[in-house]
């Protein structure tokens, strides 16, 4: 995957995954969607939008009463992927996709 061209993560999501937003919001990002199925692809996405994704995670962790992002991630269904840095990046991209998908579809 080449480096994403959109100026921010939300614009990237709108350009690439808007058609899948409802499914991602309802079933999770790990169900196998274009651009976010393989860790090698999600790492590229994370690296392109790291600050935005991390800031999103920090805000959500604080609003959930977590001590930090890692505490929030410990509750993720696929936390087993956090055994490597690339796996952690993957989880954060999935988290960001699910967050934006819920925002767009108003699925809670």
Tens of pLDDT, residues 58-106: 999 999 999 999 999 988 888 888 889 999 999 999 999 999 999 999 8
* Ramachandran quadrant class, 32 (left: phi over 0; alpha: psi -120 to 50; beta: rest): left
Q: How far apart are CA 89 and CA 108, in angstroms?
A: 24
Predicted confidence at residue 91, as pLDDT, reads 95
**Rounded to the nearest 10 degrees, how much is the dihedral formed by the CA atoms of 38, 42, 45, 51?**
180
Token pair in block for residue 105: 């579809």
Give residue 27's pLDDT: 95
Contact 90, 42 (CB under 8 A): yes
At residue 108, the pLDDT reads: 59
For 64, other C-beta atoms within 10 Å of its C-beta total 10
- Residue owning tokens 């169900």: 31
- pLDDT per position as a tens digit, 32-61: 999 999 999 999 999 999 999 999 999 999
């Amino acid at each position: 995957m080449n480096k994403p061209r959109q100026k921010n993560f939300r614009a990237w999501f709108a350009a690439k995954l808007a058609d899948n937003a409802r499914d991602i919001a309802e079933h999770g990002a790990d169900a196998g969607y274009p651009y976010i199925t393989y860790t090698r692809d999600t790492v590229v996405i994370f690296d392109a939008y790291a600050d935005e994704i991390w800031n999103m995670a920090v805000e959500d962790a604080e609003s959930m009463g977590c001590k930090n992002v890692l505490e929030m991630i410990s509750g993720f269904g696929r936390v087993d992927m956090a055994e490597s840095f690339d796996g952690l990046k993957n989880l954060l991209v999935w988290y960001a996709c699910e967050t934006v998908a819920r925002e767009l579809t108003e699925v809670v």
